[in-house]
Amino acid sequence: MIEEFKNIKTWAVIGSVSNKEKFAYKIYNFLKNKGYKVYPVDPSGKEVDGQKTYVSLKELPEKIEAINMVINPVRGEGYIDEAAEVGIKYVWFQPGAESFEVIEKAKKYGMQVVYGRCVMVDF
């Protein structure tokens, strides 16, 4: 399934993307540097490197294919609901961003799910 995720071209990274000390920021830049189109989704709404961040997946200017969750799973549940609403089928939970409940929710929506693995190791 990881190979399937590697072929996805448009992503959103959800978490504290505007904080350069956090993994969300590092993963956002990692994916961008690998040539993926990546949108920063940051609940704080703060800019990252002069670029607008989005508070909601519904605000994104185009339909994306996958989300990378780098957010507390309690806060992440709402983003899974929103991802289902906008038709996202792929979700990657970074270590620490997953819980049984949020993984099961994504699976119930029919999403392809990766968890317990880091995108910066597997890509």
What CATH number is given for 2-65+83-113 in this structure? 3.40.50.720
**What φ, ψ does residue 46 adopt, rounded to 5°?**
-75, 150
d(Cα 37, Cα 11) in Å, to the nearest integer? 6
- Taking residue 8's Cβ as centre, other Cβ atoms within 10 Å add up to 16
Residuewise pLDDT in 10s, the chain (123 residues) = 899 999 999 999 999 999 999 999 999 999 999 999 999 999 999 999 998 999 999 999 999 999 999 999 999 999 999 999 999 999 999 999 999 999 999 999 999 999 999 999 999
Residue-range domain boundaries for the chain: 2-65+83-113
Q: Which pTM does this prediction carry?
A: 0.95
